[in-house]
Chain A
Amino acid sequence: MILVSGPEQFLADRSIRQLRDQLVAEDPRLEINDIEADHYAPGQLLTVASPSLFAEPRLIRVSNVEKCTDAFLLETLDYIENPADDTYLVLRHGGGVRGKKLLDALRGGAGGAIEVICLELKKDTEKLDFAAAEFAAEGRRVSAGALRALVQAFQDDLAELAAACQQLLADGDAQITEATVEKYYAGRVETTAFKVADSAIAGRHGEALILLRHALASGQDPVPIVAAFANKLRTMAKVSGNRASSGELASRFGMAPWQVQKAQRDVSSWSDEGLGNAIDLLATTDAAVKGAERDAVYALERMVSVISRRGDLR
């Protein structure tokens, strides 16, 4: 009995796949059944788990245990008390409190269950480790620069990162370097609205426009982009007139001290009037991207230009 828990669907899928491959290798007669716990009808589990004439081993994969029906919960609790022989039950639980009784029973060792925890990889270092392990599993050498470039290019989706690693493994050279990654994935930059805002506020007009285009091309919506700019400029405006220390300002405006310090650094090259112009334009742009003007992208570019000039309306 195996419990696959945690929010990262990609890792969960992969571990279930590996388990299946392993079992098929052991005995090719393996019979596989899928159950969706959120549409579970009473008796289903018992039907697929009851012994058959030729006694094939079987694998029962249950998805959506986090949304399971009451019937599923009751019957599974019964089942783990006396599991069937030669039957592997894999429960996929995506996180949450539903089915806690079942989880507790399994974690308590009922039926000799093991748990595979699939946590989300949030930090870049974790993703670097993940990619390095991908290459190491195939026994291939990869340079640190190449790993960094890969992780940079695929920040949002772990599945994409893994797929990219597999691609490089499948047709790359013995030694995977930065040049290889460049050849395959050059120009692909995943960016966020905040990065666009940062580079515009710092006055790097060209870079900001390129990032803006990247952000739009990789599916960012104009409205949150404007919101990110507004957030940045609002913080800058709040700290601009104040001589107090960053700690004091942070507590007054309910922000983290590093946010205040960053805003103070950003605002040092801005004039009060420029800041005013920029915020006024933001309001116009917000209206524009919500339908007041026909071309939302043009409105965004105009906003990025004015903000890169630090609010000079020229």
Chain B
Amino acid sequence: MGVWSNLTGQNEAIRTLQAAASHDPGNRAMAHSWLITGPPGSGRSNLAYAFAAALLSRGPDDEDATLRQVQARSHPDLAVLATELVIITIDQVRELVKASYYSPSVGRYRVVVVEDADRMSEHSSNVLLKALEEPPVSTVWILCAPSEADLLPTIRSRVRSLGLRVPSIDDVAALLRDRDGVDPETAVVAAREAQSHIGMARRLATDPEARARRRQTLETALSIRSTSDAVIAAATLLAVAGEDAKSFTAEHDEEERKAALRSLGVAEGGTVPPALRAQLRAMEDDQKRRAKRGLHDGLDRILVDLLSLYRDVLLLQLGAAGEPINDSIRPALESAAGASTPATTLKVLDAISTARTRVDRNVSPALVLEAMLIAVSRHAVR
């Protein structure tokens, strides 16, 4: 079964979807709209595309070819809405709703996948309601979101929900080993440090710079003693987040620009005629929005890393069972645990989650980090 391989640790969910996609004429497990929820990195969208491929294929023999088309997003009966920006706009949703009313052209179904359904605003979500409730017989909606609570109740009541588990560390490590050829030891460390986020684990395992950046983040946090340290460290971390984001977007931006120039018929290195500048500017604005999303994501990764750090410290302080996530810097963890009390550690954890809500609220990134690291600076001084 080609479609369902490469998916880690979600056997129950896969069984449900397999039953739904079955070609058996007595199949009663199908629903018209699905919501796949699971923590970031659990493979929501991969599962959604696997399911889409299974639905679109005309039979078991056709599955591999269909999967390839789905992965290239070129299958004629597949409509996808994904975004690299902060939100999905209402116009994109309207376009998608229109597309959902066509009949399938080759397969049994027309499939509409919305990755990041949580990035739809309330307005855009409302546009979906009618289409989700009563799609044409042959249309299937698949939404993906981190949790059911991220969507409006009116959306939730119109879909069949399918929850994914957090894959175990061993599952993720095994995947890294088999798929990416990472050596077993690194794979386990990366899987644990990424807290089973498959994409992150893969980056940590394959990109030594990402690993170094993560380590630098943790060491910076542990060395903060005063407000002054905190502000300087915030600048460092912001630079780390920026680099992190840039490593994702810079290459992509450049390629996109080249492709756009080529399609506009401008020779490489030539001047852009004024009439075409507006188009390029629109693209650059989009890239800027993407860079902002990248920075937010980078910040969130830093905050999650710090959360794991202080979770470990608390674990040691309380003497609870369980393996520290950041076992590689155990001596530093122990000294941090010895220099503070569980109460102050909890305060830091609180400050970090406040910081995460502030990032969502569009507070200036420097201020978010500074305020949080000031709380961190008060952790150890007891």
Looking at the assembled complex, report how far the CB atom of A233 sits from the nearest CB atom of chain B, in whole angstroms. 8
Which of chain A's residues has its CB closest to B362's CB? A290
Contact among B228, B364, B368, B375 for A272, CB-based, below 8 A: B228
Contact between chains at A276 and B378 (CB < 8 Å): yes
Contact of B364 among A273, A284, A286 (CB under 8 A): A286
When distances are taken between beta carbons in the complex, the residues of chain B under 8 Å from A291 are 361
Residue B377 contacts which of A276, A283, A287, A292 (CB distance < 8 angstroms)?
A: A276
B363 touches A241 (CB 8 A): no
Interface residues of B (CB under 8 A from A): 226-232, 235, 358, 361-364, 366-368, 370-371, 374-375, 377-378
Within 8 A of B (CB), among A271-314: 272-273, 275-276, 279-280, 282-284, 286-287, 290-292
A214 to B368 Cα, complex, angstroms: 28
Cα(A239)–Cα(B227), bound, Å: 11
Please indicate the chain B residues that have their CB under 8 angstroms from the CB of A282 in the complex.
367, 370-371
Can you give 30 A-B contacts (C-beta < 8 A)?
A227-B364, A230-B364, A234-B370, A237-B230, A237-B231, A238-B235, A239-B228, A240-B226, A240-B228, A241-B229, A242-B228, A272-B227, A275-B227, A276-B227, A276-B230, A276-B374, A276-B377, A279-B227, A279-B231, A279-B367, A279-B370, A279-B371, A279-B374, A282-B367, A282-B371, A283-B368, A286-B363, A286-B364, A287-B358, A290-B363
Q: Which of these, B230, B362, B366, B378, contacts A230 with CB under 8 Å?
A: B366
CB-CB under 8 A from A242, the residues of chain B are 228
Residue count of chain A within 8 Å CB distance of chain B: 23
> What are the 6 closest A-B residue pairs judged by CB atoms, nearest first?
A241-B228, A283-B371, A237-B231, A276-B227, A276-B374, A283-B367
CB distance from A212 to the nearest CB of B (A): 19
Chain B residues closer than 8 Å to A230, beta-carbon distance = 364, 366-367
Contact of A283 among B226, B231, B235, B370 (CB under 8 A): B370
Residues A292 and B361 in contact in the complex (CB < 8 Å), given A234-B231, A238-B232: yes
Q: Measured between alpha carbons, how far is A254 from B70 in the docked complex, in Å?
A: 50
Task: Report yes or no: A280 in contact with B371, Cβ–Cβ below 8 A.
Answer: yes
The chain A residue sitting closest to B354, CB to CB, is A283
Does A241 lie within 8 Å of B226, measured CB to CB? yes
Shortest CB-to-CB span from A124 to chain B, Å, is: 31
The interface residues of chain B lying within 8 Å CB-to-CB of A239 are 228
Residues of A within 8 A of B232 (CB): 237-238
A240 / chain B contacts, CB cutoff of 8 Å: 226-228
Contact of B361 with A238 in the complex, beta carbons under 8 Å:
no
CB distance from B236 to the nearest CB of A (A): 12
Please report the C-alpha to C-alpha distance between residue A280 and residue B370 in the assembled complex, in whole angstroms.
Answer: 7
Residues on B with C-beta less than 8 A from A275 are 227-228
Q: Quick one: closest A residue to B367, CB to CB?
A: A283
Q: Which residue of B lies closest to A280 (CB)?
A: B371
Most buried by A among B235, B374, B375, B377: B374
Min CB distance, B299 to chain A, in Å? 13
- Cα A230 to Cα B232 in complex, Å, equals 14
Tell me the smallest distance from the CB of A133 to a CB of chain B, in Å: 40
Whether A280 lies near B374 (C-beta < 8 A) is yes
Please tell me if the beta carbons of B226 and A272 are within 8 angstroms of each other in the complex.
yes
A234 to B230, CA, bound (A): 10
Q: Please, how many angstroms separate the alpha-carbon atoms of A291 and B370 in the complex? A: 20
CA distance A273 to B363 in the complex (A): 22
Choose from B231, B361, B375 the contact partner of A290 (Cβ within 8 Å): B361
Q: How close is B165's CB to chain A, nearest CB, in angstroms? A: 34
**Nearest Cβ distance between residue A289 and chain B, in whole angstroms?**
10
Question: Which A231-280 residues sit within 8 Å CB-CB of chain B?
Answer: 234, 237-242, 272-273, 275-276, 279-280
B361 in contact with A287 (CB, 8 Å): yes
Partner of A234 from the list B229, B366, B368 (CB cut-off 8 Å) is B366
In Å, the complex CA distance between A195 and B362 comes to: 26
- Bound-state Cα–Cα, A69 to B366, Å: 44
Q: How far is the CB of B344 from chain A (nearest CB, A)?
A: 14
The answer on a CB contact under 8 Å between A238 and B231 is yes
Which chain B positions have C-beta within 8 A of A272? 226-228
Question: Closest residue to B361 on the A side, CB-wise?
Answer: A287
| B374 contact set on A, CB distance < 8 A | 276, 279-280
The residue in chain B whose Cβ has the minimal distance to the Cβ of A282 is B367
Question: What chain A residues lie within 8 Å of B226 (beta carbons)?
Answer: 240-241, 272
Contacts of A237 in B (CB 8 A): 227-228, 230-232, 370
Which residues from A are CB-within-8-Å of B367? 230, 279, 282-283, 286
Which residues of chain A are within 8 angstroms of B358 by Cβ–Cβ distance?
283, 286-287
